[in-house]
Amino acid sequence: MMNVKEAFEKIEKRFHEAGVDSPAFEVSVLMEDLLNLPRNPEITVPENLLEPEEEEKLFAAAEKRAGGYPLQYIIGNWEFFGRKFFVGEGVLIPRPETELLCETVLKYFSRTMPPKIADLCSGSGCIAITLAKELGGAEVTAVELYDGAFEYLKRNNALHGNCVKTLQKDALEAFGKFDCIVSNPPYITGDEMKELQTEVTFEPETALFGGTDGLDFYRAIAKNWFEHLNEGGLIAFEIGDTQGEAVKEILTENGYKNAGIIKDYEGRDRVVSAVKYD
């Protein structure tokens, strides 16, 4: 039988050869999640022997990852804003840069009464659930059209205490009145769709493709939801890092005020927000 350290080193080498980013980290995640081992098992429990069925399970998952399948789909969950979210085929994987979108909304409403929020193209629900948890008393509606993603939205909502209202419908069909419209919509361009990293190709195209120039959803949401945003309300989008000025212009053209671009921690355009004033 192989011990933990031997298995770790063998898989780490395989990941290096396959071009996996952060191979040691990913091996550690696999071992922790699939085998219930402690963090950094090659250091904490290096001499522990793996049972044959554990070894088989681990190496099968590792080979799948080496072939480009997303780590998050293999383990079935991922962390966002310090909370666990279920993910799998059919739903977009939460990404750390999206936390900036949540932080933008949290900052805007930090000194106000709990807002009424619509999270459009909600996917896993990571944005909606985070805002509901972080803004005590906020009324959050998570809107998602597609069956696969909506199932994960419902699972994650249940996991976190059914803290948001889930609604399966087209996010471009506006309804109700809200203090905040927030969305991480599909924004990848037609050309970019042809050059996706292998692991991204496993994620649903419906959560990625934003039209030829990547701006279709920004145009439609900005236009369709304007009358459904309350006076003084905030609209905030995650964007691709080349889309800041274009999305800012879309919001301004549709009557929103004080449109601005917020950069992420690597200095790239990541969020565009604006407010509604009559």
pLDDT given for residue 204 in this prediction: 87
Model confidence at 39, in pLDDT bands (50, 70, 90)? confident
Q: Do domains 4-67 and 91-275 have the same CATH topology?
A: no
Q: What is the pTM of this model?
A: 0.94
The 3-state DSSP class for residue 189 equals coil
**Exposure string (b/e) for 212-248, b if CB count within 10 Å is 16 or more?**
eebbbbbbbbbebbbeebeeebbbbbbbbeebbebbb
pLDDT value at 250 more than 80: yes
Q: Would you identify the CATH topology of the domain 4-67?
A: Helicase, Ruva Protein; domain 3 (1.10.8)
Question: Can you list the alpha helix ranges (DSSP code H) found in the chain?
Answer: 4-18, 23-35, 41-44, 52-66, 71-75, 99-108, 126-134, 147-159, 190-193, 216-224, 244-253
Domain boundaries, the chain: 4-67, 91-275
Alpha-carbon gap, residue 175 to 25, rounded angstroms = 44
Per-residue pLDDT tens digits for 107-143: 999 988 999 999 999 999 999 999 999 999 999 999 9
Could you count the other beta carbons within 10 Å of the beta carbon of residue 27? 26
Tell me the one-letter amino acid at 238. Answer: E
How high does pLDDT run on average in the chain? Answer: 95
Six token digits for residue 9: 């080193």
Q: Would you identify the CATH topology of the domain 91-275?
A: Rossmann fold (3.40.50)
Which helix or strand (DSSP H or E) is residue 141 part of? strand 139-143
Positive or negative, the CA dihedral 93, 97, 100, 101 is negative
Which helix or strand (DSSP H or E) is residue 262 part of? strand 257-263
Model confidence at 183, in pLDDT bands (50, 70, 90)? very high
User: Percent of the chain, pLDDT > 70?
Assistant: 100
